[in-house]
Amino acid sequence: MDEEFAPHYEPADALQAPRYTGIRTFARCPYVSDLSGLDAAAIGIPFDTATSNRPGARFGPEAIRAASIALRSWNHELGVDVFKSLSVGDLGDIGITPGNARKTAGQIASALVPVLEAGISPVALGGDHSMVLGELRAYAEVHGPVALVLLDAHADVWDSYYGERYFHGTPFRRALEEGLLLPESSVLAGMRGGLYSANDLDEPRRMGFEVLTCNELRTLRPQEYANRVRERVGSAPVFFSFDIDVIDPAFAPATGTPEVAGLLPHEALAFIRSLAGIPFVGFDIVEVAPIYDGPGQITALLAANVAWEFLSLRALAQQSR
């Protein structure tokens, strides 16, 4: 398509149309099915079969979209006008198969490949973390194995639960087995809470990942964190996965396996923003189970803001091209 005539998709203007009017799409961006003309797109993955404690992340995309009506366009901290810089649409949800994590991983991969091939940066809205296996298959198919920047309370490299190998605590081990990840280029941070055994943190390190516990991360200044990440990822294609449970349960109660004493939101946002300049190939924000939110739906609001910071990173990377 001739770029000059490409459509520019952006949210409805909340100073004209009240922000609570209209069908709930991400940030009130247009709901599109045609992939042309998009720089980035929200895409829901409402799957939660593979969760070991509280279910409900199937309604995560709905809740994040509903909360995202509060988003505006200018990111003051990063100095970027998100929706002027980027053409952003909402591609709706990927078809998934409840009760069948293995089949769903395939569906996710198939759905994402054309999006990536169209040059669109996806911001996937989850959904339990098992979905990242399907995502990584698509990224690896288009970009080759990728570096992983993970903010999460759990490293998610366990082998299986009750014999089930496709589960929300196992995706990165499966991805490693499938050759989708570059562990030595990856940084996993935010791990905390009780573990099954001392081995739980040693094992990802043996696999090649850098692992920063939440208490280690908390003591780093954002720039220090950013330096470590930049050093690790180098020039590899990088994927950013944000599990909402990296945040303290007071700010993000609506998640499947909350762990006490997590990051505060302003800390987490500062870590995200510190990575400005890295040309991420894609993003996800996972494990939002909205029924566990109170009426204020603050978890969903935070997740929507994380997605918006992702778009800000994407906009900045575009500007610096």
- Return the residue of 10, 39, 90, 245 that touches a second copy, per CB under 8 A: 90
3-state secondary structure of 150: strand
The nearest distance, CB 143 to a second copy, in angstroms, is 27
Q: Does 202 bind a second copy (CB under 8 A)?
A: no
Residue with tokens 């990242």: 132
d(CA 188, CA 12): 36
Using CB under 8 A as the binding rule, whether residue 113 contacts a second copy is answered as no
Work out the number of other CB atoms within 10 angstroms of the CB of residue 195. Answer: 12
The answer to whether 301 contacts a second copy (rule: CB under 8 A) is yes
Q: If binding is defined by CB under 8 A, does position 220 make contact with a second copy? A: no
The answer to whether 216 contacts a second copy (rule: CB under 8 A) is no
Structure tokens at 49: 């079969």
10 touches a second copy (CB under 8 A)? no
Terminal Cα-to-Cα distance of the chain (whole angstroms): 20
How far CA 302 is from CA of 64, 252, 307, in Å, comes to 9, 8, 9
- Any contact of residue 65 with a second copy (CB under 8 A)? yes
Say whether residue 293 binds a second copy (CB under 8 A): yes
Please, which residue, 75 or 185, has the CB nearer to a second copy?
75
Question: Crossing angle of helices 101-117/131-143, nearest 10°?
Answer: 40
Strand partners, 75: 80
Is 206 a binding residue for a second copy by CB under 8 A? The answer is no
x/- track of binding to a second copy for residues 133-172 (CB under 8 A): -------------------------x-xxxxx-xx-----
Report if residue 283 touches a second copy, rule: CB under 8 A: no
CB 289 within 8 A of CB 48: yes
Verify binding: residue 4, a second copy, rule CB under 8 A.
no
Q: Closest by alpha carbon to 129, among 158, 90, 163?
A: 158
> How many whole angstroms separate alpha carbon 128 and alpha carbon 139?
18
State the minimum distance, in angstroms, from the CB of residue 100 to a second copy: 6
Among 1, 2, 194, 219, binds a second copy (CB under 8 A): 194
Asked whether position 7 contacts a second copy by CB under 8 A, the answer is: no
88 binds a second copy (CB under 8 A): no
Among positions 222, 249, 279, 318, the unique one binding a second copy when judged by CB under 8 A: 249
The residue among 283 and 292 lying less far from a second copy, judged by its C-beta, is: 292
Question: Is 209 among the residues that bind a second copy (CB under 8 A)?
Answer: no
Binding test (CB under 8 A) with a second copy, winner from 8, 98, 224, 234 = 98
- Which of these, 156, 197, 137, 161, lies nearest to 287 by C-alpha position? 156
Q: Are 187 and 146 in contact (CB under 8 A)?
A: no
271 binds a second copy (CB under 8 A): no
175/150 Cα distance (integer angstroms): 14
- Is 195 a residue that touches a second copy (CB under 8 A)? yes
Q: Which stretch binds a second copy (CB under 8 A): 55-63, 111-119, 221-229, 280-288?
A: 55-63
Region binding a second copy by CB under 8 A among candidate stretches 63-71, 141-149, 174-182, 230-238: 63-71
* DSSP category for residue 153: S
- Token pair of 8, please? 């520019």
**What is the C-alpha to C-alpha distance for residues 140 and 36, in angstroms, rounded to an integer?**
22
In the list 2, 266, 320, 321, the residue contacting a second copy (rule: CB under 8 A) is 266
Q: Does 34 bind a second copy (CB under 8 A)?
A: no
Q: Residues near 166 by Cβ (< 8 Å), separated by ≥ 6? A: 50, 101, 102, 105, 130, 133, 174
By CB under 8 A, name the one of 6, 8, 21, 234 that touches a second copy. 21
